[in-house]
Structure 1
Amino acid sequence: MSKHQPQVGYLIKQAQSLLRIHMEDALRPMDLSVSQYSCLHSLLRDPGISAAELARATFMTRQSMGTMLQQLLERGLVERSKPSAGGRALPAALTEAGATLLSAAQAEVDKVEQRMLSGLKPSDLESLGYGLNLCINALRA
C-alpha cells in the first residue's frame, strides 16, 4: 500500500467510534443508549419486526436484545402483545411515549450527524454515500 493512500477501513472505524461517542453524549440526558435508540428507530421503521430481526438490525445478540427490550418495556417505551396460545410472544411495538422520546432523540442525533458532515459540500456528501454503498455491497457479495 502506498504511504499516501489512506487506510480507508481505519478511517471508517475511527469515524464510527467518534460518531457513537457523540451520539451517546447527545442521548445521555434522555437516559438512552445508542443501542436503545437504534432499537426504537428500528421499531418505528419496521413495525412488527421480530426480536431476532431487531437484534440483527441493531448489531446485537438475541440475548442482549431480550434484556434491552425488557428495559424498554419497563420504561413504557415499547409494548408487547400477550403471548399467543403457543406461548410465543408477539413482536414489540413503540408506545406513544416511545415515539415521543424517539422524536426528541432523533433531533439530537440529527445535530450530531450535521456536525459530522458540516465540512462536506453537497457533491462530497453524494460521493461519500455512493462510495460507502459500493463498499457495503462489495463486502456483502
Structure 2
Amino acid sequence: MEQPGVDLDASVGYLLKEASSALRAAMEEVLRPLGMTVTHYSCLELLAQRPGLSGSELARGAFVTRQSMNVLLRSLEDQGQVTRPAAAPVGKVLPTRLTDDGRALLAQASAAVRAVEVRMLSGLDEGERASALRLLRTMVRSLHDDARADGPPGG
C-alpha cells in the first residue's frame, strides 16, 4: 500500500524551502565577487545593526553553529573587517564590532543583496509585498509560539 505523501505543488513548507534555496543561491552569486558568503554578509549586517554582539548571538542571527561563527570571526579579524577585545570586558563574552574596512565591504554587499531582493519581488505590487511580509511574519510567529507552548522536551 502506498503511503500518502505531501503534495509538493501545494506544500507551503516545500515552496518556502525552494524560495529560500533560490534566494541563497542568488545571494551567493552576487557576494562571491566580493569574496563573501551569505553567512559572512549576515554577520557583517548583524554587526552594523547591533554592534557588540557576541559570537553566540551572531551564530543565532546567521543561523549557523557557534563553532562555524567562531571560525568566521577569526577569519574576519585576520582580514581586518571586525574587531574583538583580547579579553572579555565582562564574563566570557567578546563583543564584536565592525571596522571601517568591514563597513566599506558591507556597503557593497548590501547593495548587491538589495538588488537580489528587488529582483525576487519584481513580480509583486506594493500591496502584495506588504502581504507577503505580513504572512511570513505570521508563519514564523506561529511556529515560535507553538515551540514555546510545547516547552522543552521532557519537561
Structure 1 outlier segments of 4+, above 2 Å: 84-90
Question: Which whole-Å deviations, capped at 9, do the CAs of 1:25-56 have from their partners, x for residues lacking one?
Answer: 00001000000000000111111111111111
Higher relative CO (Cα under 8 Å, sequence separation at least 6) belongs to 1
Task: Extract unaligned runs of 5+ from structure 2.
Answer: 146-155
Task: Extract unaligned runs of 5+ from structure 1.
Answer: none
The verdict on how the C-alpha distance between 1:85 and 1:44 changes in structure 2, with shifts beyond 3 A counting, is closer
TM-score by length of 1: 0.92
Q: Could you tell me the percent identity over the aligned residues? A: 43
| Structure 2 counterparts to residues 1-141 of structure 1, below 5 A | 6-84=10-88, 88=92, 90-141=94-145
CA contact (8 A) 1:80 1:89 kept: no
Number of positions where the alignment pairs a residue of Structure 1 with one of Structure 2: 140
CA contact (8 A) 2:55 2:70 kept: yes
**Aligned-partner residue type, residue 79 of structure 2:** R
Structure exhibiting the larger radius of gyration computed from Cα positions? 2
Question: Which whole-Å deviations, capped at 9, do the CAs of 1:48-71 have from their partners, x for residues lacking one?
Answer: 111111111111111111000011
CA-atom RMSD in angstroms? 2.0
CA contact (8 A) 2:88 2:95 kept: no
CA contact (8 A) 1:77 1:94 kept: yes
Separation of aligned partners in 2, 1:94 and 1:50: 12
TM-score by length of 2: 0.84
